[in-house]
Amino acid sequence: MLIHINDDLDLKKIADSGQAFRIKEMDDTQRFFRFITNDSILYIKDLSDGNFDISCSEEEWEHIWFPYFDLGRNYSQIRADIPSEDTFHQKASAFGKGIRILKQDPFEMLITFIISQRKNIPAIRASVEKIAARFGTKLVTSYEEVYTFPSAIQMAGCNSENLSDCSLGYRLPYIIDAVMNVNSNSLSLEELFDYDTDTLFQSLLSVKGVGKKVANCICLFAYARLECAPVDVWIEKIINRYFDGINPYPQYGEVAGIMQQYAFYYIRDISI
């Protein structure tokens, strides 16, 4: 099915932005990507000028992928509204034009961002794919065999033995504990949608292995709390180098997380 999108959407930049670890570039010469969330798979090709070829039905696009890509929000206007005096974020947003905040599954975000600590993106992806292959459901498409990211129920039997080859290191007991908490309903990921952002954040901090950065990532990428701007070593570098040690993201309010993503994508490029 062919669709047209009037706003910013760059599949490559989203894939490289560090917010999702299962996006696959199917063909680097054709701007052709695979996205997967829960048991839904999307193959999408950028035909240029805002035109895209997508593999799903109109109904699936409207109910799953339209909200997944946050297409109800005008990102070009958000970029235009950056104050002229904030030259860093003007440059970062121009460089990162096309990045959007993906709305992803809470359990997948909980597990993958616990894994993400002190790992580079290729290593995170490798661990996540091993978990999917071990516990997820195999789906066969016309392009590939791929595994869904498992649900908490599918991971209920996880232990140090069957996770031993997933390259989790010190994170392994945190993963087991998180799965147990979700399955016992000590942490109800669905109920967290109804919480205000501060209560949501504090609830996530109660999970072993979840610190402020990971909690903010889950708030942002699973619960669409765009006022959350995770601070990692890259963002700390920005705060200290360009803003005299004063965190600029609170001033951006409900779009702080978008500004953070532009900045995160930009700083890694200019620091290489």
Q: How many CB atoms lie within 10 A of CB 48?
A: 7
C-alpha torsion angle, residues 80, 236, 267, 124 (rounded to 10): -110
pLDDT for res 272 = 56
Is residue 122 classed exposed, middle or buried when 0-12, 13-18 and 19+ CB atoms within 10 A define those classes? exposed
Q: How many CB atoms lie within 10 A of CB 240?
A: 11
CATH classification (class only), 2-84: alpha beta
The Cα–Cα gap between 135 and 155 comes to 6
**Packed helices 121-135 and 106-115: angle between N→C axes, nearest 10 degrees:** 130
Where are the chain's structural domains?
Answer: 2-84, 106-221
| Of 232, 226, 230, nearest in space to 254 by CA | 226
Q: What are the Cα distances from residue 226, in Å, to 3, 132, 155, 250?
A: 26, 28, 29, 11
The superfamily CATH assigns to domain 106-221 is Hypothetical protein; domain 2 (1.10.340.30)
Q: Which residues contact 202 (CB under 8 A, 6 or more apart)?
A: none
The answer to whether domain 2-84 and domain 106-221 are alike in fold is no
Q: What is the pLDDT along the chain (272 residues), one digit of tens a residue?
A: 999 999 999 999 999 999 999 999 998 788 999 999 999 999 999 999 999 999 999 999 999 999 999 999 999 999 999 999 999 999 999 999 999 999 999 999 999 999 999 888 999 999 999 999 999 999 999 999 999 999 999 999 999 999 999 999 999 999 999 999 999 999 999 999 999 999 999 999 999 999 999 999 999 999 999 999 999 999 999 999 999 999 999 999 999 999 999 999 999 888 75
- H helix or E strand, kind and range, residue 40: strand 40-48
146: helix, coil or strand? Answer: strand
CB 135 within 8 A of CB 152: no
* Beta-ladder partners of 147: 138
CB 4 within 8 A of CB 23: no
| Of 131, 121, 120, nearest in space to 179 by CA | 131
Using a cut of 0.85, tell me whether the model's pTM lies above it. yes
CB 65 within 8 A of CB 53: no
Question: Backbone dihedral region of 145: left (phi > 0), alpha (psi from -120 to 50 degrees) or beta?
Answer: beta
If you write DSSP's letter for every residue of 217-263 in order, what string do you get? Answer: HHHHHTT--TT-----HHHHHHHHHHSTT---GGGGGGGHHHHHHHH
pLDDT for res 137 = 98
pLDDT for res 118 = 85
The Cα–Cα gap between 91 and 94 comes to 5
